[in-house]
Chain A
Amino acid sequence: MNLDFSDEQKQLRDQIRRFLGEKCPSSAVRAVLEGPESYDKGLYRGLAEMGVLGAAIPEEFGGSGLTHLELCVVAEELGRALAPVPVSSSIYLAAEFLIQAGTPRQKALWLPRLAAGGSIGTFAMSEGQGRTTPARISARVEGGKLTGVKFPVADGDVADLAVVAARDEQGRLSLYLVELAAAGVRREALESIDPTRGQARLVFDRAPAELLGTKGDGWHIASQVLDRAAVLMAFEQLGGADRALEMARDYALERMAFGRPIGSFQAIKHILADMYVSATLARSNCYYGAWALVSGAAELPVAAATARVSATTAFQHCAKNNIQVHGGMGFTWAFDCHLFYRRSNALALALGSQSTWESLLIERMSAGNAETAA
């Protein structure tokens, strides 16, 4: 049994951590928070040059031909650093959709660009408030032209390509590739609780759309890709949870009150212990998810939901309590606690809300293999 990353993967982790330590300090995150750009272009280019964007993209399509385990390692580090880059939209989602459902021509056209970071992709499914279900999708493609409104779309303000869930002429839910620079696409940046990651509303008015995968297969493909993305996103959340815990621990060691470090008070110590517990459970569940993702196990749907629910819980728990341990200073703009708080709450909703994944987990366990998570 080896539920762990290999030595090479751990070296990759160290390498990326060093790189992000240099290129993505919190000042870089703040530059996006406070500035006009919705992502850090230099950082994204740097990640592309290191080959990490294409880690899990086949070599024939411009990737590094590594595995999704390496991508999990990358994701955890991006989460730790709160990297303000569109990796989840472009790599976990758009590239994965192309790998899973694209024709050779579609793959050859888009995957090299996504791997090189020259183009950014995203996935547009939600059409407003409330849980996304097949019945709620009304965007429509007729004669190769897409009409409808999608929001929120992560990184929709900067993406070049969107995978859009929409109905075909017969009303069947299908997926389409849409170039966002084309005529008939209007986009509008949206304010969000986490301005370090872009959000947009995309309005399509007879925009050119090209089928991805089989007609009527949209929900099925999306579910598969979302499961894969959920494991990667869980690693991002895990990285964030761990870093928030470290920040709180460091502050509890340094901050004095009543003549002693606050970390010596059990009221604080026990908060930190509970943060460690939630981060540890999430890490173990993430490893389970990573195993299922890379081994093609039949239990991937259960493992992905398990990793996702656990990591969402951990990141939210650690980020909110990081503020609590910091006391009033944690509520200032100047301290970094809010960056984690924002990201934890934004990621908890990306790919579907926590209650959606909780429901999926139990639905899947009861449908099939109840023993897998037992």
Chain B
Amino acid sequence: MDFEDTVEEAAFRTQVRAWIDANAPKHLEEELKRASFGSNGVVSEDPIAAGKAWQKKKAEAGWACLHWPKEYGGAARTPIERVIWGQEEGAYAALTGVFTIGHGMCGPTVMSWASEEHKRKLLPPLASGEHIWCQLFSEPASGSDLAGLRTRAVKADDGSGDWIVNGQKIWTSGAQYSDWGLLITRTNPDVPKHKGLTMFFLDMKSPGVEVRPIKQVNGQSSFNEVYFTDVRIPDSQRLGDVGQGWEVSLTTLMNERLSIGSGMSTGFPELFRFCMDAEIDGRPAVEDSAVRSRLAQIAVRQSGLKYTGMRAISALSKGETPGPENSIGKLVAGATMQDLSMFALDLQGEAGVIWDEDSPQQGRFQAMLMRSPATRIEGGSDEILRNIIGERVLGLPGDIRVDKDVPFKDIPTSGRKKK
């Protein structure tokens, strides 16, 4: 049991640290460190441009998409080297958040399913931050039940082999500034739902694509609706066979849940600092026994997540595959942050209602409160994550699916009741 690097890991870390120290945009460090969940990150300059610049710099020095093969813009590094890079990048990693979906989900899907020609064309500019990708999966009527999606792709009747897409996607992060999208569609409604899906990638500037930002509970608009009206996609941009879209989507979703050691924050460090400063009856809040109990319960969840991540890193360091324990990350972090923000506001007394970014706490807990409901839903809701743990980790049987063997067009939906 130790937290020490191996000799090779230590040498790599030294190299990474030196490069970051010499090249990171230090003028943004303070701003990035101050931002907590639900707050804006960089505000002093255009955050997208700042992210692209940092990614480009990394790519030019061979630090982009470390785990990808070199021919696709990566560096062919080991998983543990990728983890070490992430640890050293620290606060600067938030700069390149706009690439998370592209690098973490779309890229691996393209790598698994696209032609060699497409891989060489699409992946290097994704790795270098020139292109931003989005993931066009969820729809108004299919969130957790993704395979119930209704966006239709039909073959054009002009003999071109192209596909014509009509429908609507929703909850698409970054669609407004994305260059490419990974799109799952229904190509056959006459077979059971999982069997009639087909995956494509498309140019987000294609005629007929319309992006409308969604105004969220917290007033921000990081998610969008994306409408498709007779959008034409060449058949060469299909990933996998016609009808194989569900299988392709699983590549994407598995990668979504593989962000190991990413150390999802619960907001505990911010809460703890606040409780050191805040007072109850003229004494520090941390001396109050009720506060201590609440804080301790949050502290052990935070540290449990931290050391769960370290157990996964330990496995990587030994060249082993990490166990299923990382599946708890978002489930724990999301709910903890929401509870924690309510507790922080409670400690602020009646003034907790005020959301003031110029206050000593910069309104961070109010921002967390208003952002945290989404964390418990996006990327797999708490309930879906519990199903995954129950079924894949504990081996419990799946729920009985009444729509499993029914042609998609006959499945009752909210707007189409069973007769």
Chain A CB within 8 A of B280 CB: no
Is A358 within 8 A of B293, CB to CB? yes
B113 within 8 Å of A (CB atoms): no
Are A355 and B293 neighbours in the complex by a CB distance under 8 Å?
yes
Q: Which of A253, A276, A309 contacts B389 (CB 8 A)?
A: A276
Q: Which of B3, B331, B387 touches A266 (beta carbons < 8 Å)?
A: B387
Chain A residue nearest in CB terms to B391: A269
B332 and A313 form a contact (CB under 8 A): no
CB of B11, distance to nearest CB on chain A (Å): 15
What class of interface size applies to chain A in its complex with B? 35 or more
Answer yes or no: A270 CB below 8 A from chain B CBs: yes
Tell me how far the C-beta of B280 lies from the nearest C-beta in chain A, rounded to whole angstroms.
Answer: 14
**With A266-B399, A276-B389: A294-B1 Cβ-Cβ less than 8 Å:** yes
Instruction: Tell which of A252, A295, A361 touches B396, judged by Cβ atoms closer than 8 Å.
Output: A252
The stretch among B208-216, B300-308, B346-354, B406-414 that forms the contact with chain A is B300-308
Partner of A1, one of B302, B317, B398: B317
Contact A1 B268 (CB under 8 A): no
B1-A273 in contact (CB<8A)? no
Nearest neighbor of A253 in chain B, beta-carbon distance: B396
Specify which chain A residues have a CB less than 8 angstroms from the CB of B317 in the assembled complex: 1-2
**What distance in Å separates the Cβ of A251 from its nearest Cβ neighbour in chain B?**
11
How many angstroms between the C-alpha atoms of A345 and B1 in the bound complex? 30
A359–B5 Cα distance when bound, in Å, is 33
* Bound CA span A1–B3, Å: 4
Q: Are A264 and B272 in contact (CB under 8 A)?
A: no
A residues 306-326 near B (Cβ < 8 Å) are 306, 309-310, 313
Residue of A nearest to B84 (CB): A1
Question: With the chains together, A281 CA to B335 CA distance in Å?
Answer: 14
In the complex, chain B residues whose CB is within 8 Å of the CB of A276: 328, 389, 393-394
Contact for A309 among B284, B297, B310, CB less than 8 A:
B297
A44 adjacent to chain B (CB < 8 Å): no
Which secondary structure dominates where chain B touches chain A? helix
- With A253-B395, A270-B390, A374-B272: A3-B304 Cβ-Cβ less than 8 Å: no
Chain A residue contacts of B314, Cβ below 8 A:
1-4
B24 within 8 A of A: no
Check B300–A2 contact: CB distance below 8 A.
Answer: no
> Interface readout for B258-277 with A: 1 if CB under 8 Å, 0 if not?
00000000001100110110
CA distance A285 to B297 in the complex (A): 12
- Which one of A261, A266, A281, A366 lies within 8 Å of B300 (CB-CB)? A281
- CB-CB < 8 A to B5: which residues of A? 1
Q: How many whole Å from A267's CB to the nearest CB in chain B?
A: 11
The answer to whether A263 and B397 touch across the interface, beta carbons within 8 angstroms, is: yes
**Contact residues in A for B117 (Cβ distance below 8 Å):** none
Quote the shortest CB–CB distance from B308 to chain A (angstroms). 4
Q: Is the CB of A285 within 8 A of B304?
A: yes
Interface residue? A373 (CB, 8 A): yes
CB-CB < 8 A to A272: which residues of B? Answer: 389-390, 394, 396
Q: Please tell me if the beta carbons of B313 and A310 are within 8 angstroms of each other in the complex.
A: no
Tell me the complex Cα distance, A336–B399, Å.
Answer: 28
Among residues of A, the one whose C-beta sits closest to the C-beta of B320 is: A4
- Whether a CB of chain A sits under 8 angstroms from the CB of B359 is no
Cβ contact within 8 Å between B296 and A309: yes
Residues of B within 8 A of A288 (CB): 303, 307
Across the interface, do B397 and A261 meet the contact criterion of CB distance under 8 Å?
Answer: yes
Chain B proximity of A116: nearest CB distance (Å): 28
- Give the size range of B's interface with the partner: 35 or more
Most chain A beta-carbon neighbours within 10 Å: one of B4, B296, B308: B296
CB pair B1–A285 under 8 Å, yes or no, is: no
Write out the residue numbers on chain B whose beta carbons fall within 8 Å of the beta carbon of A371: 269
Asked if A374 and B268 sit within 8 Å, CB to CB, the answer is yes
CA A288 – CA B394 in complex, angstroms?
24
Nearest residue (CB) in B for A288 is B307
Determine how close the nearest CB of chain B comes to the CB of A222; give it in whole angstroms.
21
B residues near A361, Cβ cutoff 8 Å: 292, 296, 299-300
Return A3 CB to nearest CB of chain B, in Å: 5
Min CB distance B124 to A, Å, is 32
Residues from chain B with a CB closer than 8 A to the CB of A266 are: 383, 386-387, 390, 399
B318 at the interface (CB under 8 A from A): yes
Distance, CA A176 to CA B234, complexed state (A): 85
Decide if B400 is an interface residue (CB 8 Å cutoff): yes
Flag B350-385 by CB within 8 Å of A: 1 or 0 each.
000000000000000000000000000000000101
A2-B318 contact given A284-B308, A285-B307, A295-B1, CB 8 Å threshold: yes
Q: How far is the CB of A67 from chain B (nearest CB, A)?
A: 10
Given A273-B390, A361-B296, A1 and B310 contact (CB-CB distance below 8 Å): yes
Contact B399 A2 (CB under 8 A): no
A residues near B390, Cβ cutoff 8 Å = 263, 266, 269-270, 272-273
Q: Is the CB of B293 within 8 A of A249?
A: no
Distance, CA A357 to CA B273, complexed state (A)? 20
Whether B303 lies near A306 (C-beta < 8 A) is yes
Question: Considering the chains assembled together, what is the distance between the CA atoms of A285 and B303 in angstroms?
Answer: 7
Please tell me if A341 contacts chain B, counting CB pairs below 8 Å: no
The residue in chain B whose Cβ has the minimal distance to the Cβ of A285 is B304
Are B272 and A358 in contact, CB atoms less than 8 angstroms apart?
no
> Is the beta-carbon distance between B383 and A270 smaller than 8 angstroms?
yes
Q: Does B295 contact A (CB under 8 A)?
A: yes
- A273 and B302 in contact, given A264-B400, A370-B276 (Cβ under 8 angstroms): no
Residue B281 at the chain A interface, CB threshold 8 Å: no
Closest chain A CB from B270 CB (angstroms)? 9
A358 touches B396 (CB 8 A): no
Who on chain A is nearest to B388 by CB?
A273
Q: With contacts A309-B297, A370-B273 known, is A282 near B292, CB below 8 A?
A: no
Give the docked Cα–Cα distance between A69 and B1 (Å): 9
* A365 shortest CB reach to chain B, Å: 7
A2-B314, A4-B314, A272-B396 are contacts. A295–B328 as well, Cβ < 8 Å? Answer: no
Q: How far is the CA of A241 from the CA of B302 in the complex (A)?
A: 20
By a CB distance below 8 angstroms, the chain B residues around A291 are 1-3
> Any chain B CB within 8 A of the CB of A19?
no
A-B contact pairs, 18 of them (CB 8 A): A1-B310, A2-B4, A249-B396, A252-B396, A261-B397, A263-B396, A269-B396, A273-B331, A284-B308, A287-B1, A309-B297, A310-B304, A358-B292, A361-B299, A361-B300, A362-B291, A362-B299, A366-B276
Known pairs A4-B315, A284-B307, A358-B297 / 8 extra A-B pairs, C-beta < 8 Å: A252-B396, A253-B396, A261-B397, A264-B396, A266-B390, A277-B328, A284-B311, A291-B3
**What 7 A-B pairs come out closest when comparing CB atoms?**
A281-B304, A358-B296, A269-B390, A284-B307, A273-B386, A263-B396, A273-B389
